[in-house]
Structure 1
Amino acid sequence: MTNQSPLVTTEWLQEHLEDPKVRIIDATTFLMPSTEEGRPYDVKSGKEAYEEGHIPGAVYGDIAGELADSNSASAFTVPSEEQFKEAIERLGVSDDTHVVVYDQIAVVGTNISASDWASRLWWHLRFEGFENVSILEGGFRKWKHEGRNVETGTNEYPKGNVTIARNTELLATKEDVKRATTDSNTVLLNCLSPADFSGEKNTYGRPGHIPTSHNVFFASLNDDETFKVREEQQLRDIFEPTGALDSSKKVIAYCGGGIAATWNAFVLYLLGKKDVAVYDGSMTEWAGDSSLPLHTK
Protein backbone atom coordinates (compact mmCIF):
# COMPACT_ATOMS: atom_id res chain seq x y z
CA MET A 1 0.00 0.00 0.00
CA THR A 2 1.48 3.35 -0.98
CA ASN A 3 1.26 6.75 0.63
CA GLN A 4 -1.13 8.97 -1.33
CA SER A 5 0.01 12.31 0.06
CA PRO A 6 0.46 14.92 -2.69
CA LEU A 7 3.94 15.69 -1.33
CA VAL A 8 6.30 12.83 -0.47
CA THR A 9 9.72 13.07 1.16
CA THR A 10 12.99 11.68 -0.10
CA GLU A 11 12.96 9.32 2.89
CA TRP A 12 9.56 7.95 1.86
CA LEU A 13 10.61 7.46 -1.74
CA GLN A 14 13.83 5.73 -0.70
CA GLU A 15 11.72 3.23 1.23
CA HIS A 16 9.40 2.66 -1.75
CA LEU A 17 11.88 2.35 -4.62
CA GLU A 18 11.07 -1.36 -4.96
CA ASP A 19 7.31 -0.98 -4.55
CA PRO A 20 5.77 -2.57 -7.68
CA LYS A 21 2.89 -0.08 -7.61
CA VAL A 22 5.08 3.05 -7.59
CA ARG A 23 5.95 4.77 -10.86
CA ILE A 24 8.72 7.39 -10.64
CA ILE A 25 8.78 9.97 -13.45
CA ASP A 26 11.54 12.51 -14.13
CA ALA A 27 9.79 15.49 -15.74
CA THR A 28 12.86 17.68 -16.28
CA THR A 29 12.66 20.25 -19.07
CA PHE A 30 14.89 23.26 -19.68
CA LEU A 31 13.98 26.79 -20.70
CA MET A 32 16.98 28.46 -22.32
CA PRO A 33 17.34 32.15 -23.25
CA SER A 34 16.14 32.51 -26.83
CA THR A 35 18.40 33.72 -29.62
CA GLU A 36 15.38 34.54 -31.78
CA GLU A 37 13.75 37.96 -31.52
CA GLY A 38 10.18 37.82 -30.23
CA ARG A 39 10.64 34.47 -28.48
CA PRO A 40 10.84 34.57 -24.67
CA TYR A 41 12.73 31.27 -24.44
CA ASP A 42 13.79 28.10 -26.22
CA VAL A 43 12.70 24.73 -24.91
CA LYS A 44 15.22 21.93 -24.44
CA SER A 45 14.33 18.37 -23.53
CA GLY A 46 15.65 17.08 -20.22
CA LYS A 47 16.05 13.53 -21.53
CA GLU A 48 19.81 13.79 -21.88
CA ALA A 49 20.11 15.09 -18.31
CA TYR A 50 17.86 12.22 -17.19
CA GLU A 51 20.10 9.68 -18.93
CA GLU A 52 23.15 11.19 -17.26
CA GLY A 53 21.66 10.74 -13.82
CA HIS A 54 18.26 10.05 -12.24
CA ILE A 55 16.58 8.46 -9.23
CA PRO A 56 16.81 4.65 -9.46
CA GLY A 57 13.91 3.18 -11.41
CA ALA A 58 12.69 6.50 -12.83
CA VAL A 59 11.46 6.89 -16.39
CA TYR A 60 11.51 10.11 -18.40
CA GLY A 61 8.31 12.08 -18.98
CA ASP A 62 8.63 14.42 -21.97
CA ILE A 63 6.42 17.40 -21.03
CA ALA A 64 7.37 19.41 -24.12
CA GLY A 65 7.12 16.45 -26.47
CA GLU A 66 4.94 13.38 -26.10
CA LEU A 67 2.85 14.96 -23.33
CA ALA A 68 2.07 18.16 -25.27
CA ASP A 69 0.16 19.15 -28.40
CA SER A 70 2.79 19.50 -31.11
CA ASN A 71 0.29 21.31 -33.36
CA SER A 72 -0.29 24.15 -30.90
CA ALA A 73 1.28 27.58 -31.38
CA SER A 74 2.27 27.51 -27.69
CA ALA A 75 4.65 25.05 -26.07
CA PHE A 76 3.36 22.62 -23.42
CA THR A 77 -0.32 22.87 -24.49
CA VAL A 78 -2.54 20.00 -23.33
CA PRO A 79 -2.84 17.38 -26.12
CA SER A 80 -5.83 15.23 -26.99
CA GLU A 81 -7.04 12.70 -24.45
CA GLU A 82 -5.95 9.90 -26.77
CA GLN A 83 -2.40 11.23 -27.11
CA PHE A 84 -2.04 11.74 -23.38
CA LYS A 85 -3.44 8.30 -22.55
CA GLU A 86 -1.05 6.57 -24.95
CA ALA A 87 1.97 8.54 -23.72
CA ILE A 88 1.28 8.10 -20.01
CA GLU A 89 0.55 4.39 -20.41
CA ARG A 90 3.96 3.97 -22.07
CA LEU A 91 5.40 5.33 -18.82
CA GLY A 92 3.75 2.48 -16.93
CA VAL A 93 0.87 4.37 -15.39
CA SER A 94 -2.27 2.37 -14.58
CA ASP A 95 -5.32 3.10 -12.46
CA ASP A 96 -3.82 1.21 -9.50
CA THR A 97 -0.35 2.79 -9.56
CA HIS A 98 1.01 5.63 -7.46
CA VAL A 99 2.94 8.15 -9.54
CA VAL A 100 5.77 10.16 -7.97
CA VAL A 101 7.03 13.02 -10.14
CA TYR A 102 10.20 15.04 -9.71
CA ASP A 103 12.40 17.37 -11.74
CA GLN A 104 16.02 18.45 -11.69
CA ILE A 105 15.73 22.24 -11.86
CA ALA A 106 13.03 24.91 -12.12
CA VAL A 107 14.73 27.61 -14.20
CA VAL A 108 18.18 27.40 -15.79
CA GLY A 109 20.70 29.71 -14.15
CA THR A 110 18.75 30.22 -10.92
CA ASN A 111 18.59 28.66 -7.47
CA ILE A 112 14.79 28.40 -7.52
CA SER A 113 13.83 25.15 -5.80
CA ALA A 114 10.15 24.99 -6.76
CA SER A 115 9.44 21.79 -8.71
CA ASP A 116 7.27 23.40 -11.36
CA TRP A 117 8.00 20.85 -14.10
CA ALA A 118 6.92 18.12 -11.71
CA SER A 119 3.83 20.10 -10.77
CA ARG A 120 2.95 20.51 -14.45
CA LEU A 121 2.69 16.74 -14.81
CA TRP A 122 0.95 16.48 -11.41
CA TRP A 123 -1.63 19.00 -12.62
CA HIS A 124 -1.95 17.36 -16.04
CA LEU A 125 -2.60 13.94 -14.52
CA ARG A 126 -5.27 15.41 -12.26
CA PHE A 127 -6.80 17.24 -15.22
CA GLU A 128 -7.08 13.87 -16.96
CA GLY A 129 -8.81 12.40 -13.90
CA PHE A 130 -5.85 10.61 -12.29
CA GLU A 131 -5.51 11.60 -8.62
CA ASN A 132 -2.96 9.15 -7.20
CA VAL A 133 0.03 11.33 -7.97
CA SER A 134 2.60 12.99 -5.70
CA ILE A 135 5.54 15.35 -6.07
CA LEU A 136 8.91 14.58 -4.51
CA GLU A 137 9.69 17.42 -2.12
CA GLY A 138 12.97 19.08 -3.08
CA GLY A 139 13.22 17.08 -6.30
CA PHE A 140 16.44 15.67 -7.64
CA ARG A 141 18.60 18.35 -6.04
CA LYS A 142 17.51 17.36 -2.53
CA TRP A 143 17.91 13.69 -3.41
CA LYS A 144 21.51 14.24 -4.56
CA HIS A 145 22.28 16.66 -1.71
CA GLU A 146 21.46 13.88 0.72
CA GLY A 147 23.87 11.51 -1.02
CA ARG A 148 21.24 9.07 -2.21
CA ASN A 149 21.84 6.65 -5.05
CA VAL A 150 21.70 7.90 -8.64
CA GLU A 151 21.68 5.76 -11.77
CA THR A 152 22.36 6.46 -15.44
CA GLY A 153 20.85 5.20 -18.68
CA THR A 154 17.13 4.61 -19.19
CA ASN A 155 14.35 2.53 -17.65
CA GLU A 156 11.01 1.14 -18.71
CA TYR A 157 7.93 0.04 -16.79
CA PRO A 158 5.43 -2.45 -18.19
CA LYS A 159 2.82 -0.64 -20.31
CA GLY A 160 -0.02 0.64 -18.18
CA ASN A 161 -3.77 0.93 -18.60
CA VAL A 162 -5.28 4.14 -17.27
CA THR A 163 -8.81 5.52 -17.37
CA ILE A 164 -9.07 9.09 -18.66
CA ALA A 165 -11.95 11.31 -17.47
CA ARG A 166 -11.09 14.98 -17.83
CA ASN A 167 -11.78 17.36 -14.95
CA THR A 168 -12.43 20.44 -17.07
CA GLU A 169 -12.67 22.81 -14.10
CA LEU A 170 -8.88 22.55 -13.74
CA LEU A 171 -8.21 24.11 -17.17
CA ALA A 172 -8.90 27.76 -18.03
CA THR A 173 -9.12 29.14 -21.55
CA LYS A 174 -8.56 32.68 -22.81
CA GLU A 175 -12.33 33.22 -22.73
CA ASP A 176 -12.50 32.05 -19.12
CA VAL A 177 -9.79 34.56 -18.20
CA LYS A 178 -11.56 37.37 -20.05
CA ARG A 179 -14.68 36.71 -17.98
CA ALA A 180 -12.62 36.50 -14.80
CA THR A 181 -11.34 40.07 -15.22
CA THR A 182 -14.86 41.37 -14.49
CA ASP A 183 -15.94 38.67 -12.03
CA SER A 184 -15.42 39.48 -8.34
CA ASN A 185 -15.90 35.79 -7.51
CA THR A 186 -12.80 34.76 -9.46
CA VAL A 187 -9.20 35.41 -8.37
CA LEU A 188 -6.56 35.70 -11.08
CA LEU A 189 -3.08 34.76 -9.87
CA ASN A 190 -0.03 35.87 -11.84
CA CYS A 191 2.80 33.50 -10.85
CA LEU A 192 5.66 35.29 -12.60
CA SER A 193 8.32 37.50 -11.04
CA PRO A 194 7.39 40.94 -9.66
CA ALA A 195 9.39 42.49 -12.51
CA ASP A 196 7.33 40.61 -15.09
CA PHE A 197 4.12 41.46 -13.27
CA SER A 198 4.84 45.20 -13.09
CA GLY A 199 6.02 45.43 -16.69
CA GLU A 200 9.53 46.42 -15.63
CA LYS A 201 10.60 43.30 -17.53
CA ASN A 202 9.05 42.64 -20.94
CA THR A 203 9.38 38.90 -21.52
CA TYR A 204 6.34 38.11 -23.64
CA GLY A 205 6.28 40.86 -26.27
CA ARG A 206 3.99 43.20 -24.33
CA PRO A 207 4.71 44.16 -20.71
CA GLY A 208 2.41 43.92 -17.72
CA HIS A 209 -0.21 41.61 -16.32
CA ILE A 210 -3.82 40.64 -17.00
CA PRO A 211 -6.21 43.17 -15.36
CA THR A 212 -7.33 42.39 -11.77
CA SER A 213 -4.47 39.89 -11.29
CA HIS A 214 -2.65 39.42 -8.00
CA ASN A 215 1.04 38.55 -8.05
CA VAL A 216 2.38 35.54 -6.12
CA PHE A 217 5.78 34.63 -7.56
CA PHE A 218 6.01 30.84 -7.71
CA ALA A 219 9.62 30.95 -6.48
CA SER A 220 8.55 32.64 -3.22
CA LEU A 221 6.78 29.51 -1.99
CA ASN A 222 9.94 27.49 -1.28
CA ASP A 223 12.95 27.74 0.99
CA ASP A 224 15.84 27.55 -1.47
CA GLU A 225 18.30 26.44 1.23
CA THR A 226 16.33 23.40 2.37
CA PHE A 227 14.60 22.83 -1.02
CA LYS A 228 11.35 22.43 0.91
CA VAL A 229 7.96 24.10 0.60
CA ARG A 230 7.58 26.88 3.17
CA GLU A 231 5.69 26.28 6.41
CA GLU A 232 1.89 26.35 6.18
CA GLN A 233 1.42 29.64 8.04
CA GLN A 234 4.01 31.36 5.85
CA LEU A 235 2.14 30.15 2.77
CA ARG A 236 -1.21 31.29 4.13
CA ASP A 237 0.26 34.72 4.85
CA ILE A 238 1.44 34.93 1.22
CA PHE A 239 -1.87 33.91 -0.34
CA GLU A 240 -4.36 35.45 2.10
CA PRO A 241 -4.21 39.03 0.71
CA THR A 242 -5.06 37.79 -2.80
CA GLY A 243 -8.34 36.14 -1.81
CA ALA A 244 -7.16 32.82 -3.21
CA LEU A 245 -7.90 31.00 0.06
CA ASP A 246 -11.53 32.13 0.07
CA SER A 247 -13.54 28.92 -0.33
CA SER A 248 -16.30 30.79 -2.16
CA LYS A 249 -14.02 32.04 -4.93
CA LYS A 250 -12.66 30.38 -8.04
CA VAL A 251 -8.91 30.72 -8.66
CA ILE A 252 -7.22 30.80 -12.07
CA ALA A 253 -3.41 30.73 -12.04
CA TYR A 254 -1.29 31.80 -15.00
CA CYS A 255 2.35 32.46 -15.81
CA GLY A 256 4.27 32.51 -19.09
CA GLY A 257 3.35 29.14 -20.58
CA GLY A 258 1.34 27.21 -18.01
CA ILE A 259 4.26 25.72 -16.05
CA ALA A 260 5.05 27.91 -13.03
CA ALA A 261 1.31 28.43 -12.49
CA THR A 262 0.96 24.74 -11.70
CA TRP A 263 3.33 25.15 -8.75
CA ASN A 264 1.03 27.76 -7.22
CA ALA A 265 -1.91 25.46 -7.94
CA PHE A 266 -0.06 22.64 -6.18
CA VAL A 267 0.77 24.69 -3.10
CA LEU A 268 -2.83 25.91 -2.90
CA TYR A 269 -3.87 22.25 -3.11
CA LEU A 270 -1.70 21.57 -0.06
CA LEU A 271 -3.60 24.38 1.69
CA GLY A 272 -6.95 22.77 0.86
CA LYS A 273 -7.83 24.64 -2.35
CA LYS A 274 -8.19 21.69 -4.70
CA ASP A 275 -9.98 23.23 -7.70
CA VAL A 276 -7.45 25.83 -8.90
CA ALA A 277 -7.57 26.16 -12.69
CA VAL A 278 -4.49 26.79 -14.82
CA TYR A 279 -4.62 29.06 -17.87
CA ASP A 280 -2.74 26.86 -20.31
CA GLY A 281 -1.96 29.62 -22.83
CA SER A 282 -0.96 32.08 -20.09
CA MET A 283 1.02 35.21 -21.04
CA THR A 284 2.34 33.66 -24.25
CA GLU A 285 -1.19 33.55 -25.64
CA TRP A 286 -2.61 36.63 -23.89
CA ALA A 287 0.24 39.02 -24.72
CA GLY A 288 0.27 37.68 -28.27
CA ASP A 289 -3.25 39.01 -28.82
CA SER A 290 -2.94 42.79 -29.14
CA SER A 291 -6.68 43.23 -28.59
CA LEU A 292 -6.37 42.05 -24.98
CA PRO A 293 -5.49 44.51 -22.20
CA LEU A 294 -2.39 44.41 -19.99
CA HIS A 295 -1.82 46.60 -16.91
CA THR A 296 1.44 47.78 -15.43
CA LYS A 297 0.02 49.20 -12.19
Structure 2
Amino acid sequence: MIQSLIEQKRALGVFVSEHELPDNLTAHQWALLEKVVTFLGPFEELTRKVSSSEAMAADVIPAVTVLQRFLSRETDDDHGIKTMKGTLAAAVRRRFSDVEEQPLYSIATLLDPRYKNLFFSNTNTAANAKEMLIRELLRSSREEENHDLHEPPVRKPRRDHASSSLDSIFDEIADEQAPVSLNRAQVGSTAQLETYLGETTIPRENKPLQYWAVNKVRFPTLAKMASRYLSAPCSSVDSERLFSSVSHIVNDDRNRITADHAEMILFIKKNLPLILPKST
Protein backbone atom coordinates (compact mmCIF):
# COMPACT_ATOMS: atom_id res chain seq x y z
CA MET A 1 0.00 0.00 0.00
CA ILE A 2 2.76 2.44 0.91
CA GLN A 3 4.75 1.43 -2.16
CA SER A 4 1.77 2.20 -4.39
CA LEU A 5 1.36 5.58 -2.70
CA ILE A 6 5.01 6.45 -3.27
CA GLU A 7 4.74 5.46 -6.93
CA GLN A 8 1.91 7.98 -7.31
CA LYS A 9 3.76 10.75 -5.44
CA ARG A 10 4.13 13.01 -8.46
CA ALA A 11 0.55 12.50 -9.63
CA LEU A 12 -0.76 13.27 -6.16
CA GLY A 13 1.33 16.44 -6.00
CA VAL A 14 -0.09 17.65 -9.32
CA PHE A 15 -3.64 16.85 -8.23
CA VAL A 16 -3.22 18.73 -4.94
CA SER A 17 -1.82 21.82 -6.65
CA GLU A 18 -4.51 21.90 -9.35
CA HIS A 19 -7.40 21.52 -6.91
CA GLU A 20 -5.88 23.62 -4.13
CA LEU A 21 -6.43 21.00 -1.45
CA PRO A 22 -5.71 22.20 2.09
CA ASP A 23 -3.64 19.22 3.24
CA ASN A 24 -0.83 17.24 1.67
CA LEU A 25 2.07 15.10 2.84
CA THR A 26 5.17 17.08 3.64
CA ALA A 27 8.63 16.27 2.28
CA HIS A 28 9.59 14.87 5.69
CA GLN A 29 6.55 12.57 5.69
CA TRP A 30 7.31 11.34 2.18
CA ALA A 31 10.90 10.60 3.31
CA LEU A 32 9.59 8.61 6.30
CA LEU A 33 7.32 6.58 4.03
CA GLU A 34 10.25 5.74 1.78
CA LYS A 35 12.26 4.60 4.83
CA VAL A 36 9.35 2.46 6.00
CA VAL A 37 9.10 0.73 2.61
CA THR A 38 12.83 0.02 2.62
CA PHE A 39 12.69 -1.22 6.20
CA LEU A 40 9.71 -3.54 5.62
CA GLY A 41 11.26 -5.01 2.46
CA PRO A 42 12.99 -7.93 4.27
CA PHE A 43 9.72 -8.79 6.03
CA GLU A 44 7.96 -9.08 2.68
CA GLU A 45 10.82 -11.11 1.22
CA LEU A 46 10.80 -13.64 4.08
CA THR A 47 7.00 -13.81 4.08
CA ARG A 48 6.96 -14.72 0.40
CA LYS A 49 9.73 -17.28 0.93
CA VAL A 50 8.07 -19.16 3.79
CA SER A 51 4.71 -19.00 1.97
CA SER A 52 5.95 -20.72 -1.17
CA SER A 53 5.03 -24.28 -2.04
CA GLU A 54 8.67 -25.40 -1.61
CA ALA A 55 9.13 -23.92 1.87
CA MET A 56 10.13 -26.35 4.62
CA ALA A 57 10.19 -26.34 8.39
CA ALA A 58 13.95 -25.94 8.07
CA ASP A 59 13.46 -22.39 6.77
CA VAL A 60 11.94 -21.07 10.01
CA ILE A 61 14.96 -20.79 12.32
CA PRO A 62 17.30 -19.31 9.67
CA ALA A 63 14.61 -16.78 8.71
CA VAL A 64 14.12 -15.72 12.33
CA THR A 65 17.88 -15.49 12.94
CA VAL A 66 18.45 -13.39 9.84
CA LEU A 67 15.52 -11.14 10.71
CA GLN A 68 16.79 -10.58 14.25
CA ARG A 69 20.26 -9.74 12.91
CA PHE A 70 18.71 -7.27 10.48
CA LEU A 71 16.68 -5.59 13.24
CA SER A 72 19.65 -5.35 15.59
CA ARG A 73 21.82 -3.39 13.17
CA GLU A 74 21.86 0.39 13.55
CA THR A 75 22.21 2.52 10.44
CA ASP A 76 22.04 6.19 9.59
CA ASP A 77 18.66 5.64 7.93
CA ASP A 78 17.06 4.67 11.27
CA HIS A 79 16.25 8.27 12.11
CA GLY A 80 12.49 8.58 12.37
CA ILE A 81 11.74 4.85 12.46
CA LYS A 82 13.73 3.73 15.54
CA THR A 83 10.57 3.20 17.58
CA MET A 84 9.02 1.13 14.81
CA LYS A 85 12.19 -0.91 14.47
CA GLY A 86 12.42 -1.58 18.22
CA THR A 87 8.74 -2.58 18.40
CA LEU A 88 9.10 -5.06 15.56
CA ALA A 89 12.30 -6.49 17.06
CA ALA A 90 10.53 -7.07 20.38
CA ALA A 91 7.60 -8.70 18.58
CA VAL A 92 9.91 -11.11 16.72
CA ARG A 93 11.65 -12.09 19.96
CA ARG A 94 8.33 -12.62 21.73
CA ARG A 95 6.68 -14.66 18.97
CA PHE A 96 9.69 -16.87 18.20
CA SER A 97 11.32 -17.11 21.61
CA ASP A 98 10.91 -20.90 21.83
CA VAL A 99 11.23 -21.88 18.17
CA GLU A 100 14.72 -23.33 18.66
CA GLU A 101 13.46 -25.56 21.47
CA GLN A 102 10.96 -27.35 19.23
CA PRO A 103 12.41 -30.57 17.76
CA LEU A 104 10.59 -30.20 14.44
CA TYR A 105 12.27 -26.92 13.54
CA SER A 106 15.63 -27.65 15.18
CA ILE A 107 16.15 -31.10 13.67
CA ALA A 108 14.87 -29.99 10.27
CA THR A 109 17.35 -27.09 10.28
CA LEU A 110 20.27 -29.39 11.12
CA LEU A 111 19.28 -31.83 8.37
CA ASP A 112 19.03 -29.09 5.76
CA PRO A 113 22.45 -29.02 4.03
CA ARG A 114 21.96 -25.32 3.29
CA TYR A 115 21.86 -24.38 6.98
CA LYS A 116 23.09 -27.21 9.26
CA ASN A 117 24.12 -25.74 12.64
CA LEU A 118 25.16 -22.30 11.39
CA PHE A 119 21.90 -20.36 11.81
CA PHE A 120 21.07 -20.95 15.46
CA SER A 121 21.06 -17.93 17.76
CA ASN A 122 23.99 -19.23 19.83
CA THR A 123 26.19 -22.26 20.34
CA ASN A 124 24.07 -23.58 23.22
CA THR A 125 20.89 -23.84 21.16
CA ALA A 126 22.89 -25.43 18.33
CA ALA A 127 24.27 -28.01 20.77
CA ASN A 128 20.78 -28.70 22.14
CA ALA A 129 19.47 -29.20 18.61
CA LYS A 130 22.30 -31.63 17.92
CA GLU A 131 21.41 -33.59 21.05
CA MET A 132 17.77 -33.73 19.92
CA LEU A 133 18.85 -35.16 16.57
CA ILE A 134 21.18 -37.72 18.19
CA ARG A 135 18.39 -38.91 20.48
CA GLU A 136 16.07 -39.22 17.50
CA LEU A 137 18.72 -41.17 15.58
CA LEU A 138 19.24 -43.55 18.50
CA ARG A 139 15.51 -44.04 18.93
CA SER A 140 15.17 -44.81 15.23
CA SER A 141 18.04 -47.29 15.43
CA ARG A 142 16.41 -49.09 18.36
CA GLU A 143 13.11 -49.30 16.49
CA GLU A 144 14.82 -50.80 13.47
CA GLU A 145 16.55 -53.35 15.67
CA ASN A 146 13.29 -54.28 17.39
CA HIS A 147 11.42 -54.67 14.12
CA ASP A 148 14.11 -56.50 12.22
CA LEU A 149 12.40 -59.75 11.24
CA HIS A 150 14.74 -60.81 8.47
CA GLU A 151 17.02 -62.91 10.64
CA PRO A 152 15.55 -65.73 12.77
CA PRO A 153 16.44 -65.75 16.47
CA VAL A 154 19.65 -67.54 17.31
CA ARG A 155 19.02 -70.89 18.96
CA LYS A 156 20.89 -71.48 22.13
CA PRO A 157 22.67 -74.88 22.33
CA ARG A 158 20.97 -77.42 24.50
CA ARG A 159 22.91 -77.99 27.68
CA ASP A 160 23.22 -81.21 29.57
CA HIS A 161 21.69 -81.30 33.01
CA ALA A 162 25.07 -82.25 34.45
CA SER A 163 26.65 -79.03 33.28
CA SER A 164 28.25 -76.67 35.72
CA SER A 165 26.05 -74.52 37.93
CA LEU A 166 27.98 -71.49 36.67
CA ASP A 167 26.74 -71.94 33.12
CA SER A 168 23.59 -69.93 33.87
CA ILE A 169 25.72 -67.04 35.09
CA PHE A 170 27.89 -67.25 31.99
CA ASP A 171 24.73 -67.09 29.88
CA GLU A 172 23.41 -64.18 31.92
CA ILE A 173 26.57 -62.14 31.42
CA ALA A 174 26.61 -62.98 27.71
CA ASP A 175 23.01 -61.83 27.34
CA GLU A 176 23.88 -58.54 29.04
CA GLN A 177 26.47 -57.86 26.35
CA ALA A 178 24.01 -58.57 23.52
CA PRO A 179 23.21 -54.88 22.83
CA VAL A 180 26.81 -54.31 21.65
CA SER A 181 25.69 -54.49 18.00
CA LEU A 182 23.11 -51.74 18.67
CA ASN A 183 25.75 -49.54 20.25
CA ARG A 184 27.81 -49.91 17.10
CA ALA A 185 24.84 -48.75 15.07
CA GLN A 186 24.49 -45.80 17.37
CA VAL A 187 28.15 -44.92 16.99
CA GLY A 188 27.74 -45.19 13.22
CA SER A 189 24.86 -42.72 13.26
CA THR A 190 26.85 -40.29 15.38
CA ALA A 191 29.85 -40.60 13.06
CA GLN A 192 27.62 -39.86 10.06
CA LEU A 193 26.31 -36.76 11.81
CA GLU A 194 29.78 -35.46 12.67
CA THR A 195 31.01 -36.01 9.12
CA TYR A 196 27.91 -34.35 7.67
CA LEU A 197 28.17 -31.29 9.93
CA GLY A 198 31.89 -30.97 9.21
CA GLU A 199 31.34 -30.50 5.47
CA THR A 200 30.64 -27.17 3.79
CA THR A 201 27.02 -26.15 3.36
CA ILE A 202 25.54 -26.18 -0.13
CA PRO A 203 24.37 -22.94 -1.82
CA ARG A 204 20.99 -21.68 -0.65
CA GLU A 205 19.54 -21.89 -4.16
CA ASN A 206 20.15 -25.66 -4.26
CA LYS A 207 17.46 -28.13 -3.26
CA PRO A 208 18.15 -30.06 -0.03
CA LEU A 209 16.15 -33.13 -1.11
CA GLN A 210 18.34 -33.47 -4.18
CA TYR A 211 21.38 -33.37 -1.91
CA TRP A 212 20.04 -36.27 0.15
CA ALA A 213 19.12 -38.22 -2.97
CA VAL A 214 22.78 -38.06 -3.98
CA ASN A 215 24.31 -38.55 -0.52
CA LYS A 216 21.98 -41.20 0.89
CA VAL A 217 24.67 -43.82 0.25
CA ARG A 218 27.17 -41.89 2.39
CA PHE A 219 24.70 -40.98 5.15
CA PRO A 220 21.95 -43.63 5.04
CA THR A 221 20.66 -43.03 8.58
CA LEU A 222 20.61 -39.25 8.21
CA ALA A 223 18.94 -39.53 4.81
CA LYS A 224 16.04 -41.48 6.31
CA MET A 225 15.66 -38.88 9.02
CA ALA A 226 15.86 -36.05 6.48
CA SER A 227 13.04 -37.55 4.41
CA ARG A 228 10.89 -37.43 7.54
CA TYR A 229 11.66 -33.90 8.73
CA LEU A 230 12.30 -32.01 5.48
CA SER A 231 8.85 -32.98 4.20
CA ALA A 232 7.14 -30.77 6.80
CA PRO A 233 6.01 -27.35 5.52
CA CYS A 234 6.72 -24.31 7.65
CA SER A 235 3.25 -22.77 7.27
CA SER A 236 -0.30 -23.60 6.20
CA VAL A 237 -0.30 -21.03 3.40
CA ASP A 238 0.18 -23.52 0.59
CA SER A 239 -2.60 -25.83 1.84
CA GLU A 240 -4.94 -22.85 2.20
CA ARG A 241 -3.99 -21.76 -1.29
CA LEU A 242 -4.86 -25.25 -2.50
CA PHE A 243 -8.32 -25.07 -0.94
CA SER A 244 -8.85 -21.71 -2.63
CA SER A 245 -8.07 -23.34 -5.98
CA VAL A 246 -11.30 -25.30 -5.72
CA SER A 247 -13.20 -22.11 -6.54
CA HIS A 248 -11.56 -22.15 -9.99
CA ILE A 249 -12.77 -25.72 -10.58
CA VAL A 250 -16.28 -25.65 -9.15
CA ASN A 251 -17.95 -22.50 -10.49
CA ASP A 252 -21.15 -21.40 -12.21
CA ASP A 253 -20.11 -23.01 -15.49
CA ARG A 254 -19.27 -26.35 -13.79
CA ASN A 255 -21.70 -26.45 -10.92
CA ARG A 256 -22.77 -30.06 -11.53
CA ILE A 257 -19.33 -31.60 -11.19
CA THR A 258 -19.19 -34.28 -8.53
CA ALA A 259 -17.00 -34.06 -5.45
CA ASP A 260 -14.92 -37.03 -6.59
CA HIS A 261 -14.19 -35.47 -9.96
CA ALA A 262 -13.36 -32.12 -8.36
CA GLU A 263 -10.91 -33.90 -6.07
CA MET A 264 -9.28 -35.67 -9.03
CA ILE A 265 -8.88 -32.43 -10.98
CA LEU A 266 -7.41 -30.67 -7.94
CA PHE A 267 -4.99 -33.54 -7.38
CA ILE A 268 -3.80 -33.35 -10.99
CA LYS A 269 -3.47 -29.57 -10.81
CA LYS A 270 -1.24 -29.83 -7.73
CA ASN A 271 0.89 -32.85 -8.60
CA LEU A 272 1.23 -32.76 -12.40
CA PRO A 273 3.93 -30.05 -12.32
CA LEU A 274 6.02 -32.33 -10.11
CA ILE A 275 6.43 -34.97 -12.82
CA LEU A 276 6.42 -32.81 -15.97
CA PRO A 277 9.80 -31.38 -17.04
CA LYS A 278 10.08 -27.65 -16.58
CA SER A 279 10.22 -25.65 -19.77
CA THR A 280 13.48 -23.80 -20.28
Structure-2-length-normalised TM-score: 0.21
**As a proportion of its length, which structure holds more strand?**
1
Q: Which has the larger radius of gyration?
A: 2
Structure-1-length-normalised TM-score: 0.20
**As a proportion of its length, which structure holds more helix?**
2
